[in-house]
Structure 1
Amino acid sequence: MAKGFIDIRALSHLVKKALADGDMDTALGHLERMRMIANVCHNLPGDFQPRRSKVRERKAIESLRFLLRELDPGDRAAQWVAGQLEDRGFDYVRVLQDRIKWKQPR
């Protein structure tokens, strides 16, 4: 979630620069990426709200299952989520088992 917020903030500066340069296509591409990251992260604060760790873990796993199971392999949102988990060394495939439609290419 924190990485998502940082990415959105950084992209907002790239949008501003692209607009200043008159590059509307690049600005729109950055805005689309910001929207995608925001869509991925919007349920996470509620998932991490419960005080009991078992409930938090179950809600987080349910969100991951939805994000990775319901999205196509080429979906940029699924790729972003998988990349964030892998960058932190989290073995999401083990948690999700056979419930995902695809596996991140190595």
Structure 2
Amino acid sequence: MASEYITMNRFKIKPEFADAYLKVWQEADVSAKSMPGLLEFRFFKLDAKKDGYVLFSSFARWQSKEDFLNWTKSEHFRKSHSTGPKNREMYVDRPELECFEVLI
């Protein structure tokens, strides 16, 4: 039996680009609400100051790991990630993806 799968991505963004970065996400249609297996999507900004960056994070809850992997092969994935290269100047470091199998 497949279990739920959680993906979280952390983005360290230069403070002067924080507002523009949020706009990129708002315009990218990243919620993937029509994607099979997506149960929930959230986008966060840490409510605390970090030295030299603003921390954003995405959270997605999938019905299964297979659903997530299928999404990574989809046209929606390619479209929603197409802005990455042109926005590299906004990043302090590379995004950090963490994936979790839900156990309980």
Indicate whether the TM-score tops 0.5: no
Classify the TM-score, shorter chain. 0.3 to 0.5
**With structure 1 as the length reference, what TM-score do the two structures score?**
0.32
Structure of higher RCO (CA pairs closer than 8 Å, 6+ residues apart): 2
**With structure 2 as the length reference, what TM-score do the two structures score?**
0.33
Structure index of larger Rg: 1
Q: Higher strand fraction: Structure 1 or Structure 2?
A: 2
